[in-house]
Structure 1
Amino acid sequence: MATTSIEVSQVDAFTTTPFHGNPAGVVLNAKGIEPTMRQQIARELNCSETVFIEQGVTGRFKFRYYTPATEVDLCGHATVAALHTLYETYHLSGDILVETNVGMLPMRMEEDGTVWMRQADPQFCELDGAMRAAVVRALRVEDTDVHPSLPFELAFTGLLDILVPLKKLDTLHQLAPQFDMLSSICRELGAASVHVYTTETVGAESTVHARDFSPAVGVNEDPHTGTANGALGASLVRAGVIEPKRHVFEQGWSIGRPGHILVEVTQDMAVSVGGKAVTVFCTQLRTS
């Protein structure tokens, strides 16, 4: 019986240095690949997300995203990886439209290889005191570690995330969460992740340093999260903590994959996340 294979690549997003940033699987010509096979490919590649790209009419594409455990509606770093792959493979630049499970989103590829994804319109929801206390317990921090004047809430720009502010960068780096508790909390709230952040940063050019925990979708810690950082940027602009403009967010230091995420929020709360990426390998994955 003849063997069949599918071309796959791995792209490190939010960096130009291999083995930094956040690795995403990319399947460029995904039309005709059934959902069961997509899930198997995502599990085999074992990146936090793998993106499957289908090309439509000129300037339009369809992206679908899978963790090793399940399909998710949107993923920022995998989108950056996908746009980088289109830029690198087809020398595309300029504006395109991408169909996702959260709707049709405008994206952009600049001449220098920086790529941008427009996120869904932001939405916000308060967390009650009992749920805040549960999140703090699951993170194994004290109430006094939580920053009292930064947003501690649910925010959405494509996926729902729990935003948790800490005072100190050292506290953030030393986190050792109870993942089973975080998973239960996320499932109860319908959230994709617990996104913990501080305004203490490694680099002077950065606005925020973050870590992201997504055990409910099979990823204990995601090195870099475009959607969650976009939601965080919108939350901080809404609260008047930062100005509506382009910012640099740091992530990945805690697991040895440092990188920088560009977060742009406009005055009317349009949210875009961007960055660069580097292809680490491209190969044929045998499927039968």
Structure 2
Amino acid sequence: MQLCMYIIDAFTREQFGGNSAAVVVLDSPLPDALMQQIASENNLSETAFIIANPSGDYAIRWFSPLMEIDFCGHATLASAFVLFEYFQCHQTIRFSTQQVGDLTVWRHHDGCIEMRFPNLAPTAVEAPAALLAGLSRPPKQVLANAQAYFAIYDDEQDVISLQSNSEQLKTLAPRDVVVSAKGSDCDFVSRYFWPANGGDEDPVTGSIHAGLTPYWAEQLGKTKFHAKQKSIRGGELFCSLDAEHVLVSGYAVLYAQSTLHIATAAS
């Protein structure tokens, strides 16, 4: 069996920046175990599998090297980029998901891809001991949603210089950890740690901005944001808040296109 796969750098305008995602375009469903094997072999933050539905939308599922993920923003952006560039999708794309409902995506004239996400605003919680032990600097505030704990800091440099203890943060599963502060050359910055679900640090995490955007909207008194993720690769996101949704936008570039040769026994 041969499968077409693309590797896309998402939330960046240049190769080797942003976050890499593999996108596998399917003609028919694959067994869950095989999708996990492919994602583990790729060893990227996520591998997205997309397949056209009779209704005209696309089913999408995301796998980290360790497990299936409920919600992934950068691999959704990468998947949309592939469909726009190589599969003659010229209008709005709707992705159907198992955990977060339908995701609507469209591309602007300058190539920026905008995604409509659910509003996943976090609420204040008491900081777990493992969170405090897992971060080299104590946050001024801790919040949480279903995806992650949000550790908020006073200064961008606190986020940039922060060190994490993956063994401590791993015990917070199923939640990951995002750290964030007001930015100096943007509205807010963040970093994302997910040792229980994928890896030590994620280069750029689109999905967590469904929670960061409503948080910073309340703090800054505005609804449109320029955000940066301060990982080694770095990433740039444009976010806005409407009455019911969070809109997260970014650019993407092709890194590689390949063919997977899957042995019949593996499938």
How does the TM-score come out when normalised to structure 1?
0.85
Query: Contact 1:155–1:232 (CA<8 Å) still a contact in 2?
Result: no
User: Which amino acid in structure 1 is aligned with residue 167 of structure 2?
Assistant: D
CA apart distance, 1:174: 2.1
* Change in 2 beyond 3 A, CA 1:163/1:113: same
Q: Per-residue CA shift, 1:53-104, capped at 9, x if unaligned? A: 0111364111100000100111000000000111101242332321012212
CA apart distance, 1:248: 1.3
CA apart distance, 1:270: 1.6
Q: Per-residue CA shift, 1:5-24, capped at 9, x if unaligned? A: 32211100001201001000
The CA distance in 1 between the partners of 2:253 and 2:55, in whole Å, is: 25
Query: Contact 2:13–2:253 (CA<8 Å) still a contact in 1?
Result: yes
SS at match of 1:117: strand
Structure 1 position 174 matched with structure 2 position 174: no
Structure 1 position 163 matched with structure 2 position 150: yes
Which of 190, 199, 203 is the equivalent residue of 1:210?
190
Q: Which structure 2 residue ranges, 5 or more long, are not aligned?
A: none
**Match in the other structure for 1:64:** 61
**Match in the other structure for 1:48:** 45
**Match in the other structure for 2:234:** 258
Q: Per-residue CA shift, 1:212-231, capped at 9, x if unaligned? A: 00111021100000111221
* Change in 2 beyond 3 A, CA 1:254/1:123: closer
The CA distance in 2 between the partners of 1:14 and 1:254, in whole Å, is: 12
**Match in the other structure for 1:197:** 180
Which of 224, 241, 248 is the equivalent residue of 2:204?
224
User: Which amino acid in structure 2 is aligned with residue 128 of structure 1?
Assistant: E
Which of 239, 243, 252 is the equivalent residue of 2:222?
243
Q: Which structure 1 residue ranges, 5 or more long, are not aligned?
A: none
Query: Contact 2:148–2:177 (CA<8 Å) still a contact in 1?
Result: yes
SS at match of 2:145: strand
**Match in the other structure for 1:116:** 114
User: Which amino acid in structure 1 is aligned with residue 57 of structure 2?
Assistant: R
**Match in the other structure for 1:29:** 26
**Match in the other structure for 1:84:** 81
Higher helix share: 1
SS at match of 2:109: coil
How does the TM-score come out when normalised to structure 2?
0.91
The CA distance in 2 between the partners of 1:88 and 1:58, in whole Å, is: 21
Query: Contact 1:30–1:52 (CA<8 Å) still a contact in 2?
Result: no
The CA distance in 1 between the partners of 2:253 and 2:16, in whole Å, is: 9
Output the aligned Cα RMSD. Answer: 1.8
Structure 1 position 273 matched with structure 2 position 248: yes
The CA distance in 1 between the partners of 2:239 and 2:88, in whole Å, is: 24
**Percent identity (aligned):** 27
Q: Per-residue CA shift, 1:136-169, capped at 9, x if unaligned? A: 221121x4xx34xxx620135xxx2211112233
